[in-house]
Amino acid sequence: MKKLNLIFLGPPGAGKGTVAKDVVERYGVPHISTGDMLRDAVSAGSELGKKVKSVMDSGQLVSDELLYDLVKDRLSRKDCNDGFILDGFPRNLDQAEDLDKILKELNLNLSGVIFLDVSEDEVVKRISNRRVCPKCSRVYNLISLKPKKDTICDDDGTPLIQREDDKAETVRKRYQIYIDKTSPLIKLYTERNQIVTIDASGTVDKVDEIVFNTLEELRQE
Ligand code: ADP
Ligand code: AMP
């Protein structure tokens, strides 16, 4: 069986984190979300967190140099030897080059890029209804993935919040950054014959099913 060394690509709000969580449950590979890692740094008030907070809140991208170190450190950890999901990285062509370098240095290969394809209107709708638990980071949706009770976390009862960068005025900007900077990666990985496009407009169960089938094929190749 081939390892699942994956990139999840797609606009903000496409459902990358949601599907990744379900893939982690099934295959046990670590989910490396650079957004989550940076948000953790902000919550912890670390040096990194202080550097990136205002950039993140405004919906802009953090510098490539900071991401390089963060991702290299994380991929160097032992748990990535049996597979990983990169979610939110690479986010531009320079970061794709950085990733090539990191993977080479760590003697890792990419198995494939899962591109979650969803329309702008759908991601805006998903993001505006996204709520997160500030304690455990679990992600909900007020329409499609509601918490069991009111707006509190099923796991720890903490009141859910809206991410600062999910506020309406920032969402369209982030989508535009995705189009300008991130979407060229689709062409890059298509040319390398490494991308699988998934119609991610359906329900979470439907998208999970398509992704699981795709991963089974990737494992057999
Ligand atoms: P990303 O990690 O790509 O930014 P998320 O996984 O956080 O996206 O999903 C964005 C929002 O949409 C969340 O509120 C999530 O609960 C919801 N969501 C995820 N997948 C779907 C889906 N297939 N259908 C409807 N809502 C979804
Ligand atoms: P996400 O959780 O993937 O939506 O990311 C939230 C925010 O974290 C982004 O809007 C950026 O400010 C920052 N971020 C996450 N990943 C990257 C990356 N690969 N490059 C630059 N900034 C990033």
Q: 221 lies in a domain?
A: no
| Nearest CA-CA partner of 32 in 6, 54, 52 | 6
State which ligand 1 atom lies nearest to the alpha carbon of 207.
23
Query: Exposed/middle/buried for 45, CB within 10 Å: 0-12, 13-18, 19+?
Result: exposed
Q: Which residues form the domain of 184? A: 4-214
Do the domain assignments include residue 54? yes
Please give the full DSSP string across 21-80, using - where no structure is assigned: HHHHHHH---EEEHHHHHHHHHHHT-HHHHHHHHHHHTTPPPPHHHHHHHHHHHHTSGGG
What are 101-153's pLDDT values in tens digits? 999 999 999 999 999 999 999 999 999 999 999 999 999 999 999 999 989 99
pLDDT at 221 > cutoff 90: no
Assess whether pLDDT exceeds 90 at residue 31: yes
91 lines ligand 2 (CB under 6 A): yes
Judge whether 75 and 68 are in contact, CB under 8 Å: no
Mean pLDDT of the chain: 97
CA 127 to chain centre: 13
Q: Is the CB of 165 under 6 A from ligand 2?
A: yes
- Name residue, tokens 């599907």: 19
Q: Where in 89-208 does DSSP place strands (E)?
A: 112-117, 130-132, 139-141, 195-199
Helix axes 47-57, 34-44, angle to 10 degrees: 120
Q: Quote the tokens at residue 15.
A: 């459902």
| Residue, of 176 and 168, whose pLDDT is higher | 176
Residue 126 alpha carbon to ligand 1 centre in Å = 6
pTM, two decimal places: 0.97
Nearest CA owner, ligand 2 atom 10: 59
Examine residue 90 and say whether the peptide bond preceding it is cis (omega within 30 degrees of 0): yes
Could you tell me if residue 140 is inside a domain?
A: yes
List the residue whose alpha carbon is closest to atom 15 of ligand 2: 35
Residue-wise pLDDT for 3-12, tens only, equals: 999 999 999 9
Residue 13 placed within a domain: yes
Q: Is the pLDDT of residue 1 over 90?
A: no
Do you know the residue count of the chain? 221
* 83 located within any domain: yes
Phi-psi region of 218 (alpha: psi -120 to 50; beta: other; left: phi over 0): alpha
Distance CA 209, CA 212 (A): 5
In a domain, 69, yes or no: yes
**67 ligand 2 Cβ < 6 A:** yes
Would 219 be classed as within a structural domain? Answer: no
Q: What angle do CA 165, 133, 28 make, to 5 degrees?
A: 100
Residue 62 clears pLDDT 90, i.e. is over it: yes
Please give the backbone phi and psi of residue 27, each rounded to the nearest 5 degrees, phi first: -110, -10
142 Cα: distance to centroid of ligand 1 (angstroms): 11
Please list the active-site residues: 16, 91, 130, 163, 174
Residue at 220 is within a domain: no
How many domains is the chain partitioned into structurally? 1
Task: Give the C-alpha separation, 103 to 125, whole Å.
Answer: 35
Instruction: Give phi and psi for 124, each to the nearest 5.
Output: -65, -40
Task: Determine whether the shortest distance from the Cβ of 62 to ligand 2 is under 6 A.
Answer: yes
pLDDT over 70 percentage in the chain: 100
Which CATH number does the domain housing residue 45 bear?
A: 3.40.50.300
